[in-house]
Amino acid sequence: MPVKACVFDAYGTLFDVAGAARIAAAEPSAAAWSGRWPQIAESWRRKQLEYTWLRACAGAHTDFWQVTCDGLDWALEAAGLDGDVALRAHLLALYRTLPAYGEVPQTLARLRAAGLPCAILSNGNPPMLAEAVASAGIGQHLAAVISVEDAGVFKPHPRVYALIERALVLPPHEVAFVSSNCWDACAAAGFGLTAVWVNRDGAPMDRLHARPAHVLCDLSPLPELVSRL
């Protein structure tokens, strides 16, 4: 059966999660720490994801904004910046309006023009996602924005991927699920979705229970790929 819709992870796939630290580091007030922004961005993202997995395993769900704040607090303490209240507030404000990757608007527009509905399935809570979508100017290309809050657990729990069929009324094999997180793409493949991993960093494939059917370097080739599926 051909693919009839594309569903995207949001953070790291459509939105550049390093953008907040990178933008803040370019400002004159950041001279004291600007050289460490890659470390802060990496630690922040790693802890943010680790906290989603640990909370899912522990059955201690909270929303994604809380784990985003908690991850930043860890990263700032690790960098010796945990006393900088203004920096923390600024980074969190920037995170709510992360830039989209350069190819995102055109890719979504091409898919929409081809008659393929596009949607987001994200760990983000609805207010976060609404703000990020509006800031990036991509709302007109999206048929749905789905949050894990409707499942009450973070990815990669199967209840999260089941939200796609409920929202789009399509069986899993008719949906291309696109994520820059290999573990996310693997879990989606295991659920039965046609999984596409956007491997922006040239990383090795995760060793998990399933593998994505397709691997891309960025989103640009996606419209041509799904037209052949």
pLDDT per position as a tens digit, 95-148: 999 999 999 999 999 999 999 999 999 999 999 999 999 999 999 999 999 999
Same domain (yes/no): 106, 84: no
Of 50, 71, 95, at which residue does a domain stop?
A: 95
pLDDT in tens, 139-180: 999 999 999 999 999 999 999 999 999 999 999 999 999 999
Q: Which domain holds residue 220?
A: 5-15+99-227
* Long-range CB contacts (within 8 A, 24+) of 21-27: 21/91, 23/94, 23/99, 24/87, 24/90, 24/91, 24/94
Of 45, 72, 95, at which residue does a domain stop?
A: 95
**pTM here?**
0.96
The pair phi, psi for residue 217, each rounded to 5°, is -80, -30
- Angle, helix 85-95 to helix 64-78, in steps of 10 degrees: 140
pLDDT score for 1: 59
The CA radius of gyration of the chain, in Å to the nearest whole number, is: 17
User: In whole angstroms, what is the distance from residue 51 CA to residue 163 CA?
Assistant: 22
User: In whole angstroms, what is the distance from residue 27 CA to residue 59 CA?
Assistant: 40
Q: What is the mean pLDDT of residues 174-192?
A: 98
% of the chain surpassing 70 pLDDT: 100
pLDDT score for 203: 98
Query: How confident is the prediction for the chain on average, in pLDDT?
Result: 97
% of the chain surpassing 90 pLDDT: 99
User: In whole angstroms, what is the distance from residue 62 CA to residue 59 CA?
Assistant: 10
Residues with catalytic annotation?
9
Measured in residues, the chain has a length of 229
